[in-house]
Chains A and B, each alone.
Chain A
């Protein structure tokens, strides 16, 4: 057994496909990015080595700063708007029995399986001030003005709403599963103690859900950082870079502004930021877990 399980050749053959995929699709492009990040390569012709120049430019680039701030805003929005609603809805759904429970759960998740391409275009129409659903709904409620949902100040929040709407089912489902896994005995004990539902939720459900919340918060922050597709189609970073995100920005710089080298420098910094944030989040959550 021991011999069989330490056969180097067999081990190698088992991990080889995984390693190859990793080397070819993740490590190699990152190395290439690091190289091009040090050049002034425009995307065509010859690449010229310019040292740290791109990174110096990046430090002063207000649009990149804006991208990171936007990611932060998005993460805050997820954590303080989407997740509380998702937890409450999950808790309420848990109280429901029978068929209705399944039906609602199904309905909430539907937007999640629809392609971002459809979602982004759909919301472009929903937000249109002249014939969009949202302004028509407001008009039906008596408000006559036209609201510009994509002004420099409001656009980022409008993007957030779309993302919350699209990802709601996923977050809800995870909380729902977490709640379902709570031992019913604990609830019985609480009701014997005479606690009402709200205090049961606050004193039992929430604390027990801590690990689930931590996972969900980590995922929210990461997905806020990595945001690209929805923004790419919905606003493409506009108006005036007010909804810019790192991934979209590097794409624009490389393929629109002929700054492939600079785009790669953004990519490298972007990867480092993602790694640091993930490690940091894991660390603070791991530290707390045992206690």
Chain B
């Protein structure tokens, strides 16, 4: 009974069209009932594996270079990626796979260096203008045949961000939702409640600070989580996100009062002590460790970190008590609690200049067989893939997974690509460094908006 309920929930969840691009506004539309296709999909992989075994039995040794943004190969998504690679190697003894993995910022830097001349065969990419526009213009990614993926169960709309002129160049790995992770036990012990409005969040932060604990651990050393925070606030203030952001970027003008309001609200929160001391210079791991070691009550990060609940490095009384809530509503804002910051971001692609392109695409397709990345990801609590995962519901999911599923299921709209990734890479670079100044009060909201506007020209 419980399983059936979950299946239904997830099926509905998947009917929400996820937006990858920035231009269009999210809407709820019906797609092919996922339950029907589920049966076909489970059949498909078996055939393909057989094919793979046939075709490789007699071939020469092949070395595939995989460049990944998941350096932690023992937890979360990196573990899943490694599991599928190991399986592929076992099924294709003639293949050797060399993985080079760097964390996100270092990855993106190195990716651009690679993009100049010759890339590894299979690479992590982001289906977002800031990253992909330049990459596709340079023609460094191989075109994929969209028809190949008809029965892979990709969520409707999730491929859009990976296309240029109707041609497909990459596949999405995740459906990402931004949220506040919180320590439920700590909340209960102190009598704190999940805030329903933004004012409540700020009041809660004061209480938590008074108890000598950090309210929200924020990875502010990298600018992007703060940019997503801004996206979250824009959604809550304006009701929609993609439309006004793409307009502002196209016109290089962020004069729309929504931006000013969101920026000021963000800066006020930061200066009122919502985040840890020195948040604007601390990195991802530092922020996360504050939370996972009980030094912070909350952690603002994406649903891809829901595998925290199963990470053995985190002490049990903390990891089993991690829950999540999305950005609370802002007073007078048009956005409802169910209008959320979510998008399809990261994924994989194949290098156009790869000397073993065929093998690389074969490996890519293997990764995306619904019973590989997507299934293992679900079973290991990593978060939601961009594919239909209903077939793998077991009822033994972590509370966090169920929560995220509910959030997605109940969503009335999604933001699409976060603001920093909607413009060219110059815009992204300027925004991610200037938002630090705006948050800590070094520059005013107006100056911040002027400078990111100038970066679009």
| A residues at B contact (CB < 8 Å) | 42-45, 124, 127-131, 146-152, 155, 235-242, 252-260
Contact = CB atoms under 8 A, between A and B. Distances in A.
A130 B281 contact: no
Nearest to A128: B286
A130 B290 contact: yes
A242 B139 CA distance: 36
B433 A240 contact: yes
Contact of B433 (A42, A43, A124, A238): A238
Nearest to B434: A240
Given A44-B116, A255-B109, A238 B429 contact: no
A151 B439 CA distance: 11
5 contacts: A45-B139, A152-B440, A239-B280, A255-B110, A256-B429
Contacts of B138: 42, 44-45
A256 B108 contact: yes
A239 B276 CA distance: 15
Contacts of A241: 433, 437
A255 B437 contact: no
Given A239-B440, A256-B108, A256-B109, A44 B277 contact: no
B290 A238 contact: no
Contacts, number: 104
**Chain B interface mostly:** helix
A138 to B, nearest CB: 13
A43 B278 contact: no
B216 to A, nearest CB: 13
A258 B134 contact: yes
B214 interface: yes
**Chain A interface mostly:** loop
Given A44-B137, A45-B138, A258-B425, A239 B281 contact: yes
B416 interface: no
Interface in B265-282: 276-278, 280-282
B112 to A, nearest CB: 5
B436 interface: yes
B287 to A, nearest CB: 10
Nearest to A145: B277
B440 A237 contact: no
Nearest to B134: A258
Interface string B208-251: 00000010000011000000000000000000000000000000
A43 B117 CA distance: 9
Contacts of A235: 221, 281
Contacts of A259: 426
Contacts of B109: 255-256
Contacts of A155: 281
A45 B137 contact: yes
Nearest to B131: A258
B308 interface: no
Nearest to A260: B116
B108 to A, nearest CB: 7
Contacts of A129: 276-278
A44 B113 CA distance: 9
Contacts of A254: 112
Interface in B99-139: 105, 108-110, 112-113, 115-116, 134-135, 137-139
Contacts of A237: 433
Contacts of B282: 128
